[in-house]
Amino acid sequence: MALDLSRWLPPVLLPPVLLLAAWEVLGRFDLVASGALPALSEILIRLWVDRADYPAHVTATLLASGAGFVIGNLLAVLAGLVFVMSPVAERLSRGVNIAIFALPPIAIAPILTLTLEGMTPRIVLAALGVYFVTMQATVTGLTQYDTRAADVVRAYGGGRGAVLRLVRLRGAVPAILSGFRVAAPNAVLGAILAEFGGGGRFGLGAYLLGSLGRGEPDRLWGIGLVATIIAGLSYAVFALISRRMLGASISLSLNPAAAPQVPMGAASPLLGLGAILMPFAVWWALLWAMQVPDMLGKTPWAVVDYLFLADTAPAARAKLLAALAETLPITLAGMAAGLAFAFALAVAGRLTPAFTRAFLPIALVTQTMPLVALTPLLVLLLGRGTAVTLWITISVTFFPAYVMIAQGIAQVPRAALELPRAYGATGWRELRLVTLPASLPWLFAAVKLTAPRALLGVMIAEWLATGRGLGNLLNQSRGYLDFGMIWTVAAVSVILSVALYLVAQGIERTVLRRMGMIRQN
């Protein structure tokens, strides 16, 4: 059967087509979880039946994620430029940057919808989803310029500005575009999350929320499909643009300024302290500037009070600790699994490019699927146990990790790749000698990237499916209007996420330094 098909189809299309066929058969005969997986045709028919509902929801989601995407990216590129030019600014903002990067959107969605109005929470969450990815891509792109080309500019009296303008900016374009590419589905995810967590009538998230209780798998799948298509298209658009722009202008050989590293300079203890305090100052300042009433908006001090000083503090602490004990282990397990899967796949792709070409489209489709839309579907399929949490976590860590590592491996310069080959090295050996060491910085970047995502995946699963852990605590507190707990869970999950990130970073530093990949001074 497969052999016959391959005569009609290009090999790239074969796996997806087989997959779709299997899906159709499984769905038609209600073979999976007694009908939880409808056939593709059933989903499409339901989409057609519901067609009048979609335009308003899709428009709302597109508007929010589009606005957030533009605003977030604009800020991100500007911030990246500032950080590259001024190490002090970078150092001071590091705490805020990491917090923005690490914060699980779901943890602050309730806060945003409580304190902001209309479309604003959605736009803010979408912008937050894109900011860090693009900011770091910008910094990386601007930092790993070709020093030899920069020397030429400097040899004609060009200063920092000229090097930036003539060498670094244009050289950063591919990195920035790849940032946009990864960020685009994030914007959609952020907007839908805010819609989901914040009420409002329109938006795919709101539609999903309204359809959850009805036990109509085909509609849930339809919404998930539309959300995925939007997110996937947003990714594809930027993938296409970067392919167009890159063309023959890929770098010629190894450039010595490589290694994706935020500049290390100016690391005085005072700046470090400033960096730690800054997120809290921003938190405080935003509450103050927006005149949020005390009852709704809790300052950092109010959270400390809630957790340690007030009469109810012991009870609150006990609830929080119990939730943490449920959330943390599965986060680590999911992260390790997602990362291992991404790494294995990226490596396999290096050895057998045909495999990547066949697998990547499927991976991309499943991975651009916005989590909130994915979760109810996975619940239908896997039930409400630990398995669903694990799978969601794996899927949410896998995508960014894979893109990052595969990109790292792809960036190994032609000359370096060909050298071991020239001495007859086989695939594995070449991998060990060149590909792995060269992609190691990217692997660690992926670890840092996935740590907070793993927490996000777990919390979403807990909120929507399993009714345990931090995610559930947040959802419950929302129901009880327990504002102290809402802010506490938000703060704790951000801090936890940052802690995971910092641990990953610590390991990265140690290993890279041992390997001599971090430049001295």
- Contact residues: other proteins, CB under 8 A: 146, 148-149, 151-158, 162, 166-167, 170-171, 247-252, 516, 520
Q: How far apart are CA 331 and CA 493, in angstroms?
A: 12
* Residue 415 beta carbon to other proteins: minimum distance, rounded to whole angstroms: 9
Among 17, 45, 23, 13, CA closest to 377 = 23
**Considering beta carbons, is residue 479 or 516 the nearer one to other proteins?**
516
**Considering beta carbons, is residue 159 or 269 the nearer one to other proteins?**
159
Q: How far apart are CA 519 and CA 60, in angstroms?
A: 47
Q: How far apart are CA 339 and CA 336, in angstroms?
A: 5
Sign of CA dihedral 20, 22, 23, 24: positive
**Considering beta carbons, is residue 52 or 155 the nearer one to other proteins?**
155
**Considering beta carbons, is residue 257 or 365 the nearer one to other proteins?**
257
**Considering beta carbons, is residue 51 or 148 the nearer one to other proteins?**
148
**Considering beta carbons, is residue 118 or 247 the nearer one to other proteins?**
247
* Residue 87 beta carbon to other proteins: minimum distance, rounded to whole angstroms: 18
**Considering beta carbons, is residue 320 or 416 the nearer one to other proteins?**
416
Q: What are phi and psi of 92, to 5 degrees?
A: -65, -35
Q: How far apart are CA 384 and CA 476, in angstroms?
A: 17
Q: How far apart are CA 197 and CA 320, in angstroms?
A: 21
Q: Which amino acid is at 469?
A: G
**Considering beta carbons, is residue 258 or 382 the nearer one to other proteins?**
258
Q: How far apart are CA 382 and CA 357, in angstroms?
A: 29
Residues 6+ apart with CB under 8 A from 153: 162, 163, 166, 167
**Considering beta carbons, is residue 52 or 248 the nearer one to other proteins?**
248
Answer for the pair 444, 451: CB distance below 8 angstroms, yes or no.
Answer: no
N residues, the chain = 521
* Residue 251 beta carbon to other proteins: minimum distance, rounded to whole angstroms: 6
3-class secondary-structure state, position 384: coil
User: CA 326, 330, 331 angle in degrees (round to 5)?
Assistant: 105
Answer for the pair 187, 129: CB distance below 8 angstroms, yes or no.
Answer: yes
3-class secondary-structure state, position 190: helix
Answer for the pair 187, 65: CB distance below 8 angstroms, yes or no.
Answer: yes
**Considering beta carbons, is residue 48 or 156 the nearer one to other proteins?**
156
Sequence-ordered alpha helix ranges (H) in 157-312: 160-163, 169-198, 204-211, 217-246, 269-289, 300-304
Answer for the pair 183, 368: CB distance below 8 angstroms, yes or no.
Answer: no
Q: Which two structure tokens, joined as six digits, stand for 328?
A: 């943390």
* Residue 154 beta carbon to other proteins: minimum distance, rounded to whole angstroms: 6
**Considering beta carbons, is residue 249 or 268 the nearer one to other proteins?**
249
Residues 6+ apart with CB under 8 A from 203: 57, 60, 61, 64, 122, 191, 192, 195
Answer for the pair 334, 394: CB distance below 8 angstroms, yes or no.
Answer: yes
- State which H helix or E strand residue 344 sits in: helix 313-351
Q: How far apart are CA 358 and CA 384, in angstroms?
A: 32
Q: How far apart are CA 272 and CA 266, in angstroms?
A: 10
* Residue 158 beta carbon to other proteins: minimum distance, rounded to whole angstroms: 4
**Considering beta carbons, is residue 147 or 211 the nearer one to other proteins?**
147
Q: How far apart are CA 128 and CA 187, in angstroms?
A: 8
Q: Which two structure tokens, joined as six digits, stand for 111?
A: 């806060």
Residues 6+ apart with CB under 8 A from 11: 354, 358
* Residue 245 beta carbon to other proteins: minimum distance, rounded to whole angstroms: 9
* Residue 258 beta carbon to other proteins: minimum distance, rounded to whole angstroms: 15
* Residue 74 beta carbon to other proteins: minimum distance, rounded to whole angstroms: 23
**Considering beta carbons, is residue 291 or 521 the nearer one to other proteins?**
521
